[in-house]
Structure 1
């Protein structure tokens, strides 16, 4: 395999001796390598094809980023970590920890510097960082830039399922770092293993996916604890010194998880998600099984088929941990569509190896710096051309959120809102009924009541229970139809946003939410 510096230096096969080349030409060739071209093209892919980054599609629609920004604003203005729910009138003041506080800060600082363009820029940089990291890991493992690029390009299609200004995108950089460290350790760099404890110390403050990373580390140790040689699997057990080193690093990694502002509460958070948030998992689209008819589903199926076909053409020896990682990744992606991103992070380097070996790709060391420079310039122009202005993003924001309706909400109102606008209400410092966090709302029974209202199980009773005096929903929602035909409720605001029309209902003073329903003849 090529040395680590191979990704930074162009191949010089077939070129004139260095002494016969001008310094300017040598610098040009050193800069415009095949790797720079591949990376530039990868960086252009998100702004062209990602739904959340292409300004012509759904930029600024993500409902989560707004309550993340509200949380980050509170942290940076009060200089105190959040210990109680700060945004809603339903669970406000109840104990709550912010498990993603550190991953919120890059988006907050970007927003402070560049406003809406800052959110867009931060999302693009983080997605590109993931793609470049996957490309680098694929190249390090396969030694072939072309194979690494195709594997990373396929990974981009999987990543798109979690596209958006998401904190988990930052956490997946931590997961890539963990897997790169384990690869370095397997390659004989034993000291690299000690990078894992500080990595986990940071990771637990980024996102609850640290638990998956810890599980992968445990799986790595378990799978390497015994000898197994049969068919395509060939594995030697860890030497006693290696096993002791791995166990020591694991113990230290677990211990440093307590280095966070919330202590054991943050360690419990992802476990609580798995065990105590059934409504959350059942009602959020990203927790649904992967739909194979979507772009991400087709890409996942293509990646799995490609790995099978490539190994059928020219198989290789596998270690048990490699198979365990791959099986886990694809199972997780098929069971929950949001984990297609995770599958990309885990499987891309293996896929790069399979592409090179399975299809007998010849060396791609020869390169044309001038052609590389042209492609880099073309990718840069595409990015600059598509990159939106602040005005464009403000206009786009107004096609997804009823900004005028939200602005008119008064602090004293008890507004029942859909979860898609709750985060924006929190960002605008408007008290909301619910937002897309769901965790604390499920624990306090609010999520269950929200679903009862939205699915017309007992909406009027819910409004009575929470003393709701205003309702903000789209006019196509069942609860909107109900309120149009219920005495005591009137529409005080209607706002067109893209394909939706948001209506604000107000309860007539003195009327109960559960007033009688008016029949069609009395409308």
Structure 2
């Protein structure tokens, strides 16, 4: 019996240690299978173009060169390193490059999350957290800079939480992660903000005699992290850029990913919050005060802006793992051993071979709904420079070399222009449409065929429809042009 039990443990140890690797491989395969879904965001176009601009000019952008409404105005990209990676991989491999890069970043993120959790929780609990995280984040898993920054975010917060669990100070080896994060995405500001509550929890639960010393170590680390996040081509301007985005007010509510959660329907986020609430009531899980603050903060962020579902999905499990292990059962941490080097090498070779096979046999393309290919070809024949475009078409116009009226660089255009454009294109305020067309001396419009503004211009003299398909319609300003359609009038039969 003793030999059998020992043998069972010896078998279980390597299997448990392989869980993070299995999660990473499974996620990578899922993301490659999703493929084109990673290219469903119109902003991916201009992220790639900016990356290629950086490669060509060996510099980072400081003014706008892509729109005619803000041309020459100050603009910096705190995502320059991610854009550089997207631009380089696209230049080398076409759209397969950004897809594979994005899939690898996502797989690394979940493998790291699984490794942290499996050191504290059972395999089943780890897999549940990972599955819920994937479900929460799937709509936002796109070829964009925030995804390339996700592995760094998980590694940074995991390092802070590990220090909190042992009631000590973070390792100074984490500081390069903050510098890297600050060059990949503006979300590094969250990493700075989390140091305060996590550090307070560690200090609070430390014996009184050691609290002062630990406070000093956390404060010193915090100052070093602040310096590290300024190690970018823009220096401290990166911090100011993040603040500009948060100050966009009403404009944020116009962008899908910045909208608040809607409990009018049962989506992954809403179901997760409700089920978690039910589990707490059922099992009576308790948390230290600061961890409650952290978890509630993550929930509030996710409910306020759906794009923050990734924060809840990835960071809440890190904070919850320690207390949950003590209350619902701890995994065999001794069994979490890293896979052997030979196995890792064999897996890496197989993954590379499979990636090459998939990338060479499958054609990856962005979502055609955001790519008015035929319409832009016709537009370029007109040689115009002032086109009023649909917001989602901005990325494709940048990629096509056509100056935009507006695009996904929201912080550049500001709250007023964003709101005015939305009101104009959706006819929430028709006066805004004609005012913008006049104030910016618009020569043509490129809008979705089914948009309210397109339907109105069909019925307005002075605008001639010169092209239309199921995606986009072009109206050209032309004196003397008669409207092509008239409003339907129902006769009064009474």
Given the two structures, how large is their TM-score scaled by the length of structure 2? 0.83
Structure 2 residues without counterparts, runs of 5 or longer = 490-494
Partner of 2:388: 416
1:299 corresponds to 2:272: yes
1:494 aligns with 2:468: yes
2:255 corresponds, among 284, 287, 300, to: 284
Could you tell me which residue of structure 1 aligns to residue 18 of structure 2?
36
Greater shift in the superposed pair: 355-364 or 331-340:
355-364
Of 325, 329, 344, which aligns to 2:298? Answer: 329
Matched residue, 2:231: 259
User: Compared with structure 1, are the counterparts of its residues 173 and 280 closer, same or farther at alpha carbon in structure 2 (3 Å cutoff)?
Assistant: farther
Deviations 1:249-305 (A, max 9, x none): 111222333322122321111222223x11321211222222341123223433444
Partner of 1:402: 372
Aligned to 1:15: 7
- Rounded to whole Å, the distance in 1 between the matches of 2:84 and 2:13 is 33
Partner of 1:450: 421
Aligned: 1:428 with 2:400:
yes
> Does structure 2 conserve the Cα–Cα contact (< 8 Å) formed by 1:103 and 1:206?
yes
Q: Residue 520 of structure 1: SS of its match in structure 2?
A: coil
Q: Does the aligned pair in 1 maintain the 2:64–2:70 contact within 8 Å?
A: yes
Distance in 2 (CA, whole Å) between partners of 1:108 and 1:181 is 31
Structure 2 match to 1:156? 134
Match of 1:520 in 2: 487
Deviation at 1:112, TM superposition (A): 2.1
For residues 426-462 of structure 1, give each alpha carbon's deviation from its aligned partner in whole angstroms, at most 9, with x where no partner exists: 122221111122111116x432331232132221221
Q: CA-to-partner distance for each residue in 1:459-501, whole Å, 9 max, x for gaps? A: 12211111111211122100000110011222222233xxxx3
The 8 Å contact of residues 23 and 111 in structure 2, kept in 1 or not, is answered as no
Query: What is the root-mean-square deviation in Å for CA atoms of aligned residues?
Result: 3.7
Please give the alpha-carbon distance, in whole angstroms, between the structure 2 residues aligned to 1:59 and 1:16: 41
Are the aligned partners of 1:44 and 1:380 in contact in 2 as well (CA < 8 Å)?
no
In the alignment, is the contact (CA less than 8 A) between 2:387 and 2:444 conserved in 1? yes
Q: Name the structure 1 match of 2:216.
A: 244
Q: List aligned pairs for 1:48-197, cutoff 5 A.
A: 48=30, 54-55=34-35, 58-142=37-121, 144-186=122-164, 192-197=170-175
- Report how far residue 225 of structure 1 moved: 4.5
2:308 paired with 1:339? yes
Please, which moves more after superposition, 358-367 or 263-272?
A: 358-367
Q: Retained in 2: the 8 A contact 1:139–1:352? A: no
TM-score if structure 1 supplies the norm length?
0.79
Contact 2:137 2:310 in 1 (8 A): yes
SS at match of 1:338: helix
Instruction: Give the whole-Å Cα distance in 2 for the aligned partners of 1:173 and 1:69.
Output: 20
Could you tell me whether the CA contact under 8 Å between 2:25 and 2:107 is conserved in 1?
Answer: yes
Do the aligned partners of 1:286 and 1:337 also contact (CA within 8 Å) in 2?
Answer: yes
* CA–CA distance in structure 1, aligned partners of residues 331 and 460 of structure 2: 72
SS at match of 1:258: coil
Instruction: Output the CA distance in 2 between the equivalents of 1:423 and 1:246.
Output: 42
Which structure 1 segments of 5+ residues have no match? 1-11, 19-28, 228-234
Structure 1 pair 366–103 and aligned structure 2 pair: CA distance change class (3 A): closer
Is contact 1:130–1:172 with CA below 8 Å preserved after alignment? yes
Q: Distance in 2 between the 1:204 and 1:66 partners? A: 22
Q: Would the aligned equivalents of 2:445 and 2:475 in 1 still touch at CA under 8 Å?
A: yes
Check whether the contact 2:66–2:403 (CA below 8 A) recurs between aligned residues. yes
Aligned pairs for 1:356-395 (under 5 A) are 359-360=328-329, 392-394=363-365
- SS of 1:416's partner is strand
Q: 1:239 aligns to what SS in structure 2?
A: helix
What is the match of residue 492 of structure 2?
Answer: none
Instruction: Provide the rounded CA distance (Å) in 2 between the counterparts of 1:156 and 1:322.
Output: 23
After superposition, the Cα gap between the structure-2 partners of 1:46 and 1:201, relative to the gap in structure 1 and judged at 3 Å, is: closer
| CA distance 1:225–1:409, change in 2 (3 Å) | same
Is contact 2:447-2:454 (8 Å) kept? yes
Separation in 1, partners of 2:367, 2:104? 20
How many angstroms apart in 2 are the aligned matches of 1:504 and 1:54? 33
